[in-house]
Amino acid sequence: MSGETVRDLVVAGSGVAGLSAAVYAARADLDPLVLEGDEPGGQLTLTTDVENFLGFPEGVGGMELVQRGKDQAREFGAEFRHGRIVAADLDGGQPFALELADGETLRTRALVVATGASARWVGAENEDELMGHGLSTCATCDGAFHRGDDVLVVGGGDSAMEEALFLAKFADSVTVVHRREELRASEIMADRARDHDAVDFRWNTELDAIHGSQETGVTDATLVCHPDGHPREKAANGVDVETETVDVGGVFYAVGHTPNTGFLDGTGVERDDDGYLHTERDENGRPTARTAVDGVFAAGDVADPRYRQAITSAGTGSMAALDAETYLESLDREGSEQQATEAPMA
């Protein structure tokens, strides 16, 4: 490996978690390389306005917040490049080898995984155009923009019930659209939603199309229904389904997230059944950003199936960078001690 460039730190992901890690790491003179991934900026770029990020009393655009973070990291010396990790050799000792989609291999002494979790979409017509313009995957982020609106929540699990109950604080009415007649949600969450006066349910129903524009936002939506459920699948197979257009001011997807951790297959990094990264606790039982592989750290939604907020992602990004700095210092100390031990006697 003589002459080969080895980075001190690579940050995989350029959402708020990755950018926060990059700012902290760059200020610590770790010269981090940030791989922006296929979706630079992450999920926040799909949010038109962010009103709950500390320090912006008038709100800030999601894209603007990401760009500010990128500029800040660059100011301190972080390097950015387009690239996505497709495989990682983390078990062969130092340095780690990261294979990129373009075939290049990077080598680094430490890795922060901040690749996020992608919200699942349902494939409704116009969802690409209207995501962030009345269509959202986060009620906590965007619910307050829908005061007085009638809104739809698509999904049938605990997340959908939580979204519906949260939206009921702002919206005039919340309709949960579910393709079956049974919810996947836990009984307690389902009962809370059913018992709320502002929450209604449309069973055996799916969202087929969303209407509106980026200027006006969502104006209405087309629903399809069949008494035996899964109406879109039935329609695709030529079965007659009922179609209805309803006036709504917002649509929220709550059909789950998929953490972007496939490149860690075959490594020692531990994940749960859904693919979210496990992080370790220190010797006193306190949370850290460390994973089961020394030198690999997790930040943001990739390790957080619960909160998924920009502010929490930023916090864990700083934790990951601080833990990485401590780890690299320990490597340097070990190296110095080994050199001192191996030095010939005068």
Provide the domain count of the chain.
2
Cβ–Cβ < 8 Å for 17, 314 = yes
Query: Is there a single domain that holds both residue 146 and residue 166?
Result: yes
Which tens digits make up the pLDDT trace of 176-186?
999 999 999 99
Phi, psi at 59, each rounded to 5°: 85, 165
Q: List all residues 6 or more positions away from 55 whose beta carbon is below 8 Å from its beta carbon.
A: none
Q: What is the pLDDT of residue 195?
A: 96
Cβ–Cβ < 8 Å for 31, 79 = yes
Alpha-carbon 35 to chain mean position? 16
Query: Is there a single domain that holds both residue 135 and residue 236?
Result: yes
Q: How far apart are the first and last CA of the chain?
A: 30
Q: What is the pLDDT of residue 2?
A: 42
Q: What is the mean pLDDT of each run of 10 residues along the chain (346 residues)?
A: 78 97 98 91 77 92 93 97 95 91 96 94 96 92 93 95 95 97 94 96 98 96 97 96 97 94 95 95 96 97 90 97 97 76 62
Query: Is there a single domain that holds both residue 73 and residue 101?
Result: yes
Q: What is the pLDDT of residue 1?
A: 44
Q: What is the pLDDT of residue 197?
A: 96
Instruction: Domain of residue 211: give its range.
Output: 127-253
Query: Is there a single domain that holds both residue 163 and residue 246?
Result: yes
CATH number at residue 298: 3.50.50.60
| Final residue belonging to a domain, choices 227, 253, 279 | 253
Q: What is the pLDDT of residue 93?
A: 82
Q: What is the pLDDT of residue 49?
A: 80
Residues noted as catalytic: 138, 141-142
- Do the domain assignments include residue 338? yes
- Do the domain assignments include residue 4? no
- Can you give the pTM of this predicted structure? 0.79
Query: Is there a single domain that holds both residue 273 and residue 335?
Result: yes
Give the per-residue SS3 of 240-298.
CCEEEEEECCEEEECCCEEECCHHHCCCCCCECCCCCECCCECCCCCECCECCCCCEEE
- Do the domain assignments include residue 153? yes
